[in-house]
Amino acid sequence: MQITDKAQCDAWYQALLDRASEYTGLFFVGVKTTGVFCISVCRARKPKRENVVFFREMKSALDAGFRPCKVCRPTENACSAPAFIEQALALVRANPKMRISDALLREQGISPERVRRWFLQQHGITFQAFQRMSRVNVALQELKGGRSATDVAFDSGYESLSGFGYTCKKLTGAAPSVGQQVIMIHRFTTPIGPMFVCATEQGVCLLEFVDRRMLETEFSDLQRLLKARIIAGENAHTRQAEKEIGEYFAGERQQFSLTLDLPGSAFQRRVWQGLQMVPYGQTTHYQALAECLAQPTAVRAVAAANGANRVAIVIPCHRIIGKDGTMTGYGGGIARKAWLIAHEKNHLIR
């Protein structure tokens, strides 16, 4: 929704004039004279105060009819990690089994407080919690590779096997074991907003925009259905998803080769498979989809299964529109749905 508090808007306008990087992603400014929306660090010529409106969420700016600025590219850069976060993450990647302390961050010229605030804002957890999840992820992969729990625990920086077991059980819901399953969750950016991808060892089980309604319910359902906990981390499937989605948005990919791990009923899976048969650059409606599935009277059931889809874009529920050609609901928002349909039509190979 649009923010109307004058003091707040005046502060944000000053941040826009100052190109204040610490406000990146905290607000979005719509410019009424040009129809675009920007983030605080935009280099474009500054609009007058009376010509701007402010939003807390990117989705609100899109829903209000503003399009992304081509200078600051807010949908790509608003939630991208700033340099100090990339620096902190580089330390984690270079030392996957080591705890990166606040003191070590300060030695590298990084403010632990800024890192903590960014992680809380973007991920809902602290940097230290993120590290614990990442270390447990590495440890579980080593357990699956045949290493003993004792060796893995001490090699991962734990002072005792019981400490490792406690942390693992707290994060994953079970004591460390060779057959234990977890769901990796990774966040990445796209031209129309950041997305979460979740994957088990078997494949991708969720791909959604981070502001999708009912996302917390989807997380809870996944953990219940797969009997696994969601923890921060990456695996081959999350990396492949980020790569293929990037190619899709670049107009370079029309078909996906991702391996999917989709808990659901037999009917839901049939509907999801039917959605994947809707050609790139085309649209259809529930009645036509039900007829393709040889169940013409199951229109409502097809619609419900479509709404239960947890893998956006790859299972293209955005290609379902009203029978009369109107835009129907979409978990990621009608503005994104329209953008995706237009994007595919613009890149359709004739």
Residue 178's pLDDT band, with cuts at 50, 70 and 90, is very low
Could you please report the per-residue DSSP string of 23-83?
Answer: GTTT-EEEETTTTEEE-TT--SPPPPGGGEEEESSHHHHHHTT-EE-TTT-HHHHSSSPPH
Per-residue confidence (pLDDT) for residue 55, from 0 to 100: 93
| Better pLDDT: 268 or 77 | 268
Considering 63-67, 74-78, 241-245, 330-334, the range whose residues carry the highest mean pLDDT is 241-245
Residue 349's pLDDT band, with cuts at 50, 70 and 90, is low
Return the number of other C-beta atoms located less than 10 Å from residue 121's C-beta: 11
- Outline where DSSP puts E strands in 181-328: 182-188, 195-199, 204-209, 229-232
Considering 141-145, 188-192, 193-197, the range whose residues carry the highest mean pLDDT is 193-197
Per-residue confidence (pLDDT) for residue 79, from 0 to 100: 66
Residue 1's pLDDT band, with cuts at 50, 70 and 90, is confident
317 classed as catalytic: yes
What's the burial of 250, exposed, middle or buried (CB within 10 Å: 0-12/13-18/19+)? Answer: exposed
Per-residue pLDDT tens for 122-151? 677 788 888 877 777 666 666 665 565 555
The average pLDDT across 204-225 equals 87
Per-residue confidence (pLDDT) for residue 153, from 0 to 100: 56
The average pLDDT across 226-242 equals 88
Kindly name the residue from 69, 168, 198, 317 that is annotated as catalytic: 317
Q: What is the pTM of this model?
A: 0.67
Residue 70's region, left for phi above 0, alpha for psi from -120 to 50, else beta, is: alpha
Closest by CA position to 168, among listed 231, 92, 99: 231
Per-residue confidence (pLDDT) for residue 299, from 0 to 100: 93
Closest by CA position to 192, among listed 67, 315, 85: 67
H/E stretch holding 3 reads strand 2-3
